[in-house]
Amino acid sequence: MIFLATMPEGEECIGLKEIAVAINSPEAFTAKILQTLVREHLLESIKGPNGGFRISESGKKVSLHRVVEVVDGDSIFTGCALGLQECSEKRPCAVHHKFKAIRDHLTGMMMTTTLEDMAKGIRQGVSYLKY
Amino acid sequence: MIFLATMPEGEECIGLKEIAVAINSPEAFTAKILQTLVREHLLESIKGPNGGFRISESGKKVSLHRVVEVVDGDSIFTGCALGLQECSEKRPCAVHHKFKAIRDHLTGMMMTTTLEDMAKGIRQGVSYLKY
DNA sequence: TTAATAAAAGACAAAAATATCCTTTTATAT
DNA sequence: ATATAAAAGGATATTTTTGTCTTTTATTAA
Ligand code: FES
Ligand code: FES
């Protein structure tokens, strides 16, 4: 998503192969995740020759939080640090209060960080997509 | 570890069965983790009738950070949020700076939270070991 | 000394996450 | 129209994590 967000406005779409290379991720595995993102309308895909993927109108504006939610679910934002079946104020685990602060810190960061924010750093060469 | 830390000073040791029930974790699986903690000297074990586990002298003082490090390794404290092979200032990912703050928040919390802190809450009935 | 008890260790099994392969569908260009 | 390119979908495979089972070793108590 970050890579696709770095593409200039109105750019042609980018093929799976090129994406996989750019982010150093296995092609077939990357394809599965891209499919998920298309199903959830964060990406659009074009089949056939010169086909590929590009970020959708709605995808452009989404937060990192939304991308994570679509790909991995929201357990990272709601789960108990110590693995209790449910994180709850009523029946907190031994680190609930301390952990909640950190989890909220993470959630807040991810909700306020947009793909555009991240793409900007990549475009400017101050951050990277692969090691 | 938290459960064993709630045991009164100079208490007899606690059997695997009792531990597994107390924390609602499968017995055999719990046993494997206890073995790891014994190998790393955070726990002591006593074999034979009336045997079991108890927290060691060194174990009493350890932080949550140390327990996690022993059981799961330190990737949670050092790994890249976006899965780059290495988290680095020289070649940061798109959320490195924002994520580092959160990771440091987590690391700090875990380094300063001791088993005794967590055990106190359990003993006082304000926090719980299972749902 | 022996029987019973409990942890240690190692082999094995199941489930989940990660990853690949193959066939089908759709679009493009000739 | 047809050959080709590219994503979609489904089946399969691998790896890691989680979990079990069985045998061995150590300890205690009768
Ligand atoms: S109950 Fe464990 S983090 Fe909330
Ligand atoms: S490089 Fe990604 S968190 Fe540091």
Backbone angles phi, psi at B29, to 5 degrees: -70, -45
pLDDT of residue A131: 82
H helix intervals, B11-123: 16-23, 27-39, 57-61, 64-72, 75-78, 96-112, 115-123
Supply B35's token pair.
Answer: 């073995």
Helix (H, G, I), strand (E, B) or coil at A91: coil
Judge: A64–B95 Cβ closer than 8 Å, yes or no. Answer: yes
Is the pLDDT confidence value at B100 over 90? Answer: yes
Q: Which ligand is nearest to the CA of B103?
A: 2
Is the pLDDT confidence value at B106 over 90? Answer: yes
Query: Which pTM was predicted?
Result: 0.93
A1 confidence band (pLDDT: 50, 70, 90) = very high
- Class of the A2-123 domain? mainly alpha
Is the pLDDT confidence value at A124 over 90? Answer: yes
Q: To probe the interface with B, which of A67, A68, A77, A84 has the most B CB atoms within 10 Å?
A: A84
User: Which tens digits make up the pLDDT trace of B43-98?
Assistant: 999 999 999 999 998 898 999 999 999 999 999 999 999 999 999 999 999 999 99
Judge: A127–B94 Cβ closer than 8 Å, yes or no. Answer: yes
pLDDT of residue A21: 96
Q: How many CB atoms lie within 10 A of CB B47?
A: 7
DSSP code for B125: T
Let me know if A115 is exposed, middle or buried by CB neighbors in 10 A (0-12, 13-18, 19+): buried
Residues written for chain B: 131
Closest CA to A114 of A67, A76, A70: A67
pLDDT of residue A98: 97
Report percent pLDDT > 90 for chain A.
93
Strand D nucleotides where any atom sits below 7 Å of a protein CB: 4-10, 18-22, 25-29
Show residues of chain B in contact with A71, CB under 8 Å.
Answer: none
Is the pLDDT confidence value at B10 over 90? Answer: no
**What distance in angstroms lies between residue B73's CA and the mean position of ligand 1's atoms?**
21
Report percent pLDDT > 70 for chain A.
100
pLDDT of residue B123: 97
- Mean pLDDT estimate for chain A: 95
Let me know if B129 is exposed, middle or buried by CB neighbors in 10 A (0-12, 13-18, 19+): middle
User: Which tens digits make up the pLDDT trace of A58-102?
Assistant: 898 999 999 999 999 999 999 999 999 999 999 999 999 999 999
Q: To probe the interface with B, which of A6, A107, A128 has the most B CB atoms within 10 Å?
A: A128
The residues that bridge with B14 in the sheet, in sequence order, are: B53
Residue extents of the structural domains in chain A: 2-123
CA distance A73 to A75: 6
Is the pLDDT confidence value at B131 over 90? Answer: no
**What distance in angstroms lies between residue A103's CA and the mean position of ligand 1's atoms?**
10
pLDDT of residue A95: 97
DSSP letters, B66-93, are: HHHHHHH-SHHHHS-TT--SS--SSS--
Question: What would the mean pLDDT of A30-39 be, rounded to a whole number?
Answer: 97
pLDDT of residue B69: 96
- Angstrom distances, CA of residue A49 to CA of A12, A31, A36, A129: 12, 17, 21, 26
B35 touches strand C (CB under 7 A): yes
CA of B10 to C1' of C13 (A): 39
CA distance B33 to B74: 16
CA of A30 to C1' of D1 (A): 35
pLDDT of residue A9: 84
Question: What would the mean pLDDT of B16-27 be, rounded to a whole number?
Answer: 96
